[in-house]
Amino acid sequence: MGALIGDFIKPKSSSAWAPPLLLLFIFLAILSFQFSSKSVFPIGLISSGPGHDHDDPRKSCAGFFGHVALLPRRKVVMSITDFGGVGDGKTSNTETFRKAIRYMQGFGDKGGSQLNVPKGKWLTGSFNLTRQNGTIDGQGKMWWDLWWNRTLEHTRGHLVELMNSHNILISNLTFLNSPFWTIHPVYCSNVLIKDMTILAPLNAPNTDGIDPDSSTNVCIEDCYIESGDDLVAVKSGWDQYGITIARPSSNIIVRRVSGTTPTCSGVGIGSEMSGGISNVTIEDLHVWDSAAGVRIKSDKGRGGYIANISISNITMERVKIPIRFSRGSNDHPDEGWDPKALPIVKGIFISNVVSLNSTKAPVLQGIEGASFEGICFKNVTLLGLAPSKTWQCEFVSGFASEVFPMPCPQLQNNGSSSWCSYS
């Protein structure tokens, strides 16, 4: 709860694909939109299909998805039903939403406005929340202070949390100072997060940039992130709870993300990974002055798996440990965790990495008794490293080729395994 500027109402929606009458449909259960001259939400809705972006020769997820969602309380509060909306899952509300949003935007400089969408099934085509870009300030300082002085009894709010939502586009916004993680899609699918700037003080606790969690088909592209925790962290549930819920994260693309986080990593996978994480592509990442470039985190008690992870074209400057696999520090939700629930890590393909002025070589710590295999490195160059800094590997196995400095013996340096070519 509670993030931005007032009450944060979690968008909850259930997906369903609609009859072929309109281009795009979403069913929204509880959702509210806000407008003010200070915070503008240009969650522009793209109604085009694939091919939208074919002028751009770069790989891109644009045109992949199209859609919405957001939040809190303002001077004028109205309901979509005030505009004649019908949430029966059959009536098209497209014109109603467009009309309502046009009307509500008129209060942007008059104290702001909030449009509530009550529980129901709301069939609609695309509509724009606004056309301008804008900045949303989570004003997290109060929450960080409470956390620092240990007077906080509850967890902190995310700046934007989307649950059970499908076809979401968040783009061209600046998000500042989240109390906790900044964007948290959980139990979602088809989410495009593009052209975002996310900033928090570099010491602000747990201010992760973007955390896809138990979600599928998520693309995070062209984002600049500076924060006090991982720029992007892929997750899927914690210990016995995550194992029971068993909702994996899969088919995740993280592309052209850049930024810095002095105590954490560019992209993290885990440590909450108990529902399983697979098919993650991380590419064209640029990270500087950070603790790690890419970090895979797991622990005893997690169970789950991390599989088919492709990491390529990573550029780093002054990153302490460029690639790191680590065990948690006894970080469990409660006493009910199962010490026999070990994670399986299989198929991590890391290629085309250049790191300048790291302080350590990669540190790959698996877990005793757990399987960490098919860990492959190709064309990985770490420059400016003191000669005494060698790779540290424990309970991992795999292959390496064209790697400098020489990798640890657990990674057979013969480079011929076709097995390693996950793509």
Ligand X SMILES: *[C@@H]1O[C@H](CO)[C@@H](O)[C@H](O)[C@H]1NC(C)=O
Binding stretches for ligand X (CB under 6 A):
44, 62, 98, 126-128, 131, 133, 142, 145-146, 149, 151, 171-172, 194-195, 250-251, 256, 278-279, 284, 286, 307-308, 313, 315, 317-318, 352, 354, 356-357, 379, 384, 412, 414, 416-417
> Shortest approach of ligand X to residue 58 CB, angstroms?
8
Out of 211, 229, 230, 239, pick the active-site residue.
229
> Shortest approach of ligand X to residue 204 CB, angstroms?
13
Q: Are 66 and 49 in contact (CB under 8 A)?
A: no
Quick one: tokens of 96? 């109603």
Give whichever of 182 and 401 is closer to ligand X, judged by the CB atom. Answer: 401
The burial of 315, by beta-carbon neighbours within 10 Å (0-12 exposed, 13-18 middle, 19 or more buried), is given as middle
Q: How far apart are CA 49 and CA 26, in angstroms?
A: 15
Give whichever of 77 and 146 is closer to ligand X, judged by the CB atom. Answer: 146
The burial of 17, by beta-carbon neighbours within 10 Å (0-12 exposed, 13-18 middle, 19 or more buried), is given as exposed
> Shortest approach of ligand X to residue 4 CB, angstroms?
18
Give whichever of 10 and 293 is closer to ligand X, judged by the CB atom. Answer: 293
Q: How far apart are CA 23 and CA 97, in angstroms?
A: 15
> Shortest approach of ligand X to residue 211 CB, angstroms?
19
In 3D, which of 17, 108, 115, 109 has the Cα closest to residue 67?
A: 17
Catalytic residue flag (residue 7)? no
Measured in whole angstroms, how far is the alpha carbon of residue 80 from the centre of its chain? 30
Give whichever of 247 and 332 is closer to ligand X, judged by the CB atom. Answer: 247
Q: How far apart are CA 391 and CA 393, in angstroms?
A: 6
- The set of residues, in sequence order, having a beta carbon less than 8 Å from that of 267 and lying 6+ positions away, is 230, 231, 232, 233, 234, 254, 257, 282, 285, 293, 294, 295, 311
Helix H, strand E, coil C: the string for 30-94 is EEEEEECCCCCCCCCCCCCCCCCCCCCCCCCCCCCCCCCCCCCCCCEEEEHHHHCCCCEEEEECH
> Shortest approach of ligand X to residue 244 CB, angstroms?
19
Give whichever of 13 and 410 is closer to ligand X, judged by the CB atom. Answer: 410
Give whichever of 318 and 332 is closer to ligand X, judged by the CB atom. Answer: 318
* Torsional sign, CA 217, 221, 225, 229: positive
Q: Are 350 and 311 in contact (CB under 8 A)?
A: yes
Give whichever of 112 and 398 is closer to ligand X, judged by the CB atom. Answer: 398
Q: How far apart are CA 204 and CA 136, in angstroms?
A: 17
> Shortest approach of ligand X to residue 153 CB, angstroms?
12
Number of Cβ within a 10 Å radius of residue 281: 19
> Shortest approach of ligand X to residue 294 CB, angstroms?
13
Q: Catalytic residues, which ones?
A: 229
